[in-house]
Amino acid sequence: MMPLWWPLVLACLLFSLGVYGVLARRNAVQVLMAIELMLNAVNLNLVAFDAYLRDVVHSGQVLTLFVIVIAAAEIGLGLAIVLLVFRTHAGIDIDEMTELADRDDVEAVKEAGARV
């Protein structure tokens, strides 16, 4: 049996890769992929601890299945949003999407309101 720290180190690397992707990539699809990496790092942890603790009911593996289902739903939703963003903004560069910013420009705010 392999020692516990192997999968933990792997999960840690995967999670860091995910965080880096979410924070640094400019392409929205790549950001979504990075989120997937983070989720799967967690899944790896769950499976590893499940095996290590010899859980009789395998709650770690069950939880992993749940996470996979939720991740599938989330990626569906996320891709739909990315698609809409692509249509309205003619691009999926996250740096271009700054509507959340606090602006002096009252007209722009009203315009955004009217668009909604």
CA distance 11 to 6: 9
* 116 makes contact with other proteins (CB under 8 A): no
* 106 makes contact with other proteins (CB under 8 A): no
Residue selected from 24, 68, 69, 112 as contacting other proteins according to rule CB under 8 A: 24
Give the residue with the Cβ less far from other proteins, 101 or 116. Answer: 101
* 67 makes contact with other proteins (CB under 8 A): no
Residue selected from 99, 108, 109, 111 as contacting other proteins according to rule CB under 8 A: 99
Give the residues across from 27 on adjacent strands: 93
* 102 makes contact with other proteins (CB under 8 A): yes
Distances (CA, A) of 68 to 25, 34, 75, 93, 95: 23, 15, 10, 27, 29
User: φ and ψ at 57, to 5 degrees?
Assistant: -90, 0
Interface residues with other proteins (CB under 8 A) are: 19, 22-24, 94-95, 97-102
